[in-house]
Amino acid sequence: MDEADFRQKLTPAQYRVLREKGTEAPGTGKYVDTFDDGMYHCAACGNTLFSSEHKYESTTPGLVGWPAFSDLASNEAVNLKPDDALGMHRTEVTCAHCGSHLGHLFEGDPTAPNGKHYCINSCALDFSGR
């Protein structure tokens, strides 16, 4: 898919997040409070990213308001890249299939079952229930 295809497929908000590395305002995403059984896919290409079994509610200040996952659906689902923008060190999470920006990984979240907090924008995701 080229950028024209992404622009046609995605809403303006999705395009801003997925293709221009934007972020949703905290608490505004449709999947923040979704805890149904199912799988989360990349909204741009359909790649399977996360399982609901790894979704949890983070209470860590600064990380509340976006869907939180403690693990990936598979090790090949995403790519991780250093992100030193905005004067802080973070790890960017991108779709391994189409390269779209999904959010960030934060290590050491005490509310995460394994300390890993994949902080993901709702509009970067599509959900399919079981």
Provide the annotated active-site residues: 119
Percentages helix, strand, coil for the chain (3-state, rounded to 5) are: 20, 30, 50
Q: How far apart are CA 53 and CA 87, in angstroms?
A: 33
Task: Locate the DSSP E strands across 43-120.
Answer: 48-51, 55-56, 68-69, 78-83, 90-95, 101-107, 116-120
Tokens of 25: 């305002």
- Between the alpha carbon of residue 97 and those of residues 22, 61, 116, the distances in Å are 19, 31, 22
